[in-house]
């Protein structure tokens, strides 16, 4: 395993996620404090993923046909430019809720290109038997970045102007882009691709591949629940902290950081969790999420809220990192980009549909109602994971080496 590439990859994940977390903390806190309406928060979370409903399938084919590092770098450049323009709008005093939502749509679309590009690059650069370890480490780097970005973002939200804080975010995104560019990479799979296949033929092949490999349906559902919980928690955490717990931006940043600490713990014990749970990995990971959701739904005590978000952070990270590894190991390398993008299409569709509903729910019944509502599909996911655990292919992949 190439240590230099590993360090660069982990640094890229850390810087990118630090920037994303800091940006999200700043914008969601400012948006709710300015509008005092959770509906805008729901629209912000939902609308950010709408472009992905159309772009994800296209991005998947691009990743499988093109230089994956160049695509990841391009996505980083787009994100940086968008942030520069958004910061300029704040400096110029022309900020508006819909301007922030529009900028977020661009940021999320760029992220929809960055993530599958980097994931496919990882699967190409590192040996197959190293993927669970690499994805676990990258998950740790990601949540460590979330922890740092959220903590610093919470402090900056209370002490500095939003435009000053966003300048720090720009530097983080720029650093992630440069670090990704430094990864040594020689394209392999796309050179061996048959040039007779058209773009649309390869897109269609992706859907056919999913249908022929039914295990992917179950994995997509469990990963969708993990991502829906992850993004909803991040989106409505500012509303929950301000309106339900009646706490400041500093506590908001600490709760977000605790959510990230749960992810770090999950990354550190990911290999042990895989070996311990084996084919029941989806069941126990989703049960951990359900426990956290139940706690935050019913408590008004700040210490209990910290515990609940710690559990949610651990559970969602187990789902997103380890079950993603299962999906990568169950997928032919020629389809890594397309399967990553189809997975993200499922994830983002769920957020687009649920975001406005949760926004209305939070406005009328409070933020805890959002987490209680999330508990319903997650509980259903536990039963789905039980069915998935009995499949021979799933048992074979999750069996310890």
Q: How far is CA 115 from the centre of its chain?
A: 9
Mean pLDDT, the chain cut into blocks of 10 residues (401 residues total): 76 89 87 84 84 74 78 91 91 86 90 80 70 70 79 81 88 91 68 55 72 75 88 87 86 85 82 84 92 94 94 90 76 70 78 86 89 93 86 78 54
| Sign for the pseudo-dihedral over CA of 297, 20, 182, 82 | positive
Q: How far is CA 257 from the centre of its chain?
A: 15
> What pLDDT is stored for residue 153 in this prediction?
84
> What pLDDT is stored for residue 192 in this prediction?
46
Report pTM: 0.71
* 344 close to 332: Cβ distance less than 8 angstroms: no
* 21 close to 258: Cβ distance less than 8 angstroms: no
> What pLDDT is stored for residue 401 in this prediction?
54
> What pLDDT is stored for residue 131 in this prediction?
66
> What pLDDT is stored for residue 296 in this prediction?
95
> What pLDDT is stored for residue 194 in this prediction?
47
Distances, alpha carbon 298 to alpha carbons 288, 292, 328, 361, in Å:
16, 10, 37, 16
Structure-token pair, residue 81? 């430019």
- In 3D space, the residue among 177, 202, 201 whose CA is nearest the CA of residue 189 turns out to be 202
Q: Which residue has the tokens 């056919």?
A: 208
- In 3D space, the residue among 383, 384, 378 whose CA is nearest the CA of residue 225 turns out to be 378
């Amino acid at each position: 395993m190439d240590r230099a590439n590993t360090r660069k990859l982990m640094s890229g994940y850390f810087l990118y996620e630090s920037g994303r977390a800091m940006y999200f903390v700043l914008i969601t806190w400012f948006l709710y404090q300015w509008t005092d309406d959770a509906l805008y928060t729901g629209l912000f979370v939902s609308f950010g993923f709408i472009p992905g409903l159309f772009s994800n399938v296209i991005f998947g084919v691009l990743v499988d046909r093109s230089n994956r590092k160049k695509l990841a770098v391009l996505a980083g450049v787009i994100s940086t430019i968008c942030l520069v323009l958004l910061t300029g709008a704040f400096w110029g005093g022309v900020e508006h809720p819909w301007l922030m939502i529009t900028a977020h749509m661009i940021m999320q679309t760029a992220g929809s290109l960055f993530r599958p590009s980097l994931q496919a690059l990882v699967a190409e650069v590192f040996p197959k038997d190293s993927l669970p370890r690499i994805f676990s480490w990258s998950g740790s780097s990601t949540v460590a970045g979330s922890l740092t970005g959220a903590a610093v973002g919470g402090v900056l939200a209370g002490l500095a102007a939003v435009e000053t804080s966003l300048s720090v975010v720009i530097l983080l995104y720029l650093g992630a882009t440069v670090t990704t560019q430094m990864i040594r990479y020689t394209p392999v799979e796309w050179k061996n691709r048959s040039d007779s296949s058209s773009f649309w033929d390869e897109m269609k092949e992706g859907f056919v591949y999913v249908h022929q490999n039914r295990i992917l349906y179950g994995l997509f559902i469990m990963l969708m629940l993990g991502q829906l919980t992850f993004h909803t928690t991040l989106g409505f955490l500012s509303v929950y902290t301000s309106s339900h717990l009646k706490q400041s931006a500093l506590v908001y940043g600490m709760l977000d950081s605790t959510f990230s600490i749960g992810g770090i713990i999950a990354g550190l014990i990911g290999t042990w969790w895989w070996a311990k749970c084996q084919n029941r990995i989806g069941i126990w990971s989703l049960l951990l999420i359900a426990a956290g959701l139940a706690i935050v739904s019913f408590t008004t005590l700040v210490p209990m809220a910290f515990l609940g978000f710690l559990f949610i952070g651990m559970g969602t990270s187990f789902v997103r990192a380890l079950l993603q590894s299962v999906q990568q190991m169950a997928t032919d390398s020629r389809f890594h980009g397309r399967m990553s993008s189809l997975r993200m299409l499922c994830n983002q569709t769920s957020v687009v549909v649920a975001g406005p509903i949760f926004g209305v729910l939070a406005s009328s019944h409070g933020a805890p109602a959002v987490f209680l509502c999330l508990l319903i599909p997650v509980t259903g996911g536990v039963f789905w994971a039980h069915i998935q655990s009995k499949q021979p292919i799933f048992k074979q992949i999750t069996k310890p080496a």
